Amino acid sequence: VKVLLQTENSLSSQSQSIKHTKPKQPVYRGAIHCLTHTIKKNGIMSLYKGLPAPLMGSMAENSVLFLCYAEIRRRLGEKPGEKDLTIFELACSGAVAGGIASFFLNPFEVIKVQMQVMNSSNAVRQYNGLIDCAKQTIQKEGIVNGLYRGQTSLLYREIPGNFCWYGVYESVCFSQIPEGGTKRDLGISTHLLGGASAGVAYWTAFYPADTVGSQIRANPLYANRGFFPVFFDIIRREGWKALYRGWGITALRAAPSHALIFAMYEKTMDVFRHFDPTVEDSIDKRSGSISHSS
């Protein structure tokens, strides 16, 4: 739904030069209308088109993000139980890790968007599945221009997004740590609150970058244009509000999903500690590492 809302006007004018067209009347009146329209037109299973791509992308991103985040904290001098980093340092560590992880995530973002815009009647291509989508993209555009289309947009989303994501979660947890205690003393309600707040913060940090990225990946007329030309073109044609199309439903989805991610991560770590008290716990007293779902 988010991608369809973000790309509806650009896709509706892709047969012409975007530079000389005015946006048509929006196809969707809002997120709910987009949802019901898509189900009515293509069936409920169409809502799951492109699902394998973000799932695979999340696995790749999380693996790299965890590794980079831990290494950056170590290089900043963090020693669990001895020296803790400040909230700002943790947030900066997350921002750098997010920027690095974006290079592993972008190919999956391209495929996800291409698969999901097939729900639109204005879609340029039709694919038989994830592999076919990747194959056609590489054959017609190459790896760099195809699978890494919109990389700059993703960097602009991931760097401030992860800065806020880690910073907000750690701030919420730190504020609830009892005097003389550690993060292990916190209850699940704190992790749920911190995760929900972090999820909304991540998508609010620079949501327009995600909108621009979706436009670049979905519309061939934007394929060879840079971030700022597309950014300002969207503003010129549709106004500032167009950059935030789909933010509401995305933030609404992020709050519960990210809350559960953090809570489950913390509980999983508790189980590991129960069986092996010496297990490395990088979230001892004000530090933490858990990746977001994009």
Which one has a higher pLDDT value, 222 or 160? 160
Range 27-49 burial, b when 16+ CB lie within 10 A, else e:
bbeebeebbebbeeeeeeeeeeb
Q: Tell me what the mean pLDDT of segment 9-35 comes to.
A: 57
State residue 122's pLDDT score: 54
* Tokens at 242, concatenated: 């167009």
> Which of these ranges, 56-70, 72-86, 175-189, has the smallest mean pLDDT?
56-70
Please, what is the average pLDDT of the chain?
Answer: 80
Please, which contacts does 45-48 make with residues 24 or more away whose CB atoms are closer than 8 Å?
46/119, 47/1
What single string gives the DSSP state of each residue in 86-126? -HHHHHHHHHHHHHHHHHHHHHHHHHHHHHHGGGSTT-S--
Q: How many CB atoms lie within 10 A of CB 235?
A: 14
pLDDT digits 0-9 by tens, 250-262: 999 999 988 988 8
Q: What percent of the chain has pLDDT over 90?
A: 37
